[in-house]
């Protein structure tokens, strides 16, 4: 679980490691500057993984309302974003390093919460 304070001008840097062929999960709890839970009602979340910031998209995770599209689900009133990439997806990765960012959007003011590197760890025992 990652707890971050939002409403800053700079996204939090947080690198992630994904075990190839395993389901990846990260729970992000978003707080206001005063430490209270940030209500994300009305916001959507989106995360993209690319080889470089302007590179070809390797994977997009997105959420709209309460319906999971490809892996990112927001617990709106609780200020929670649950990021899940299922093992069927991670097992097909042919790349080993990339970058990502996680954005929330209320329709008028998108905000990048997290950004960082992505490392894929190959399985040894198969």
> Cβ neighbours of residue 61 under 8 Å, at least 6 residues apart?
46, 47, 48, 69, 70, 71, 72, 83, 85
> Cβ neighbours of residue 41 under 8 Å, at least 6 residues apart?
76, 77
Q: What domains does the chain contain, in order, with CATH numbers?
A: 2-121 (2.60.40.10)
Tell me what pLDDT residue 101 has.
95
Tell me what pLDDT residue 72 has.
56
Confidence of residue 66 (pLDDT cuts 50, 70, 90): very low
């Amino acid at each position: 679980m990652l707890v971050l304070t939002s409403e800053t001008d700079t996204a939090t840097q947080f690198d992630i490691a994904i075990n190839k062929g395993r389901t990846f999960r990260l729970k992000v709890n978003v707080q206001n500057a005063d430490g209270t839970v940030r209500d994300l009602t009305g916001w959507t979340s989106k995360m993209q993984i690319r080889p470089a910031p302007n590179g070809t998209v390797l994977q997009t995770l997105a959420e709209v309302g309460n319906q999971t599209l490809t892996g990112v689900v927001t617990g709106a009133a609780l200020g929670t974003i649950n990021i899940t990439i299922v093992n069927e997806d991670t097992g097909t990765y042919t790349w080993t390093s990339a970058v990502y960012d996680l954005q929330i959007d209320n329709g008028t003011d998108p905000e990048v919460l997290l950004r960082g590197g992505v490392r894929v760890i190959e399985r040894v025992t198969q």
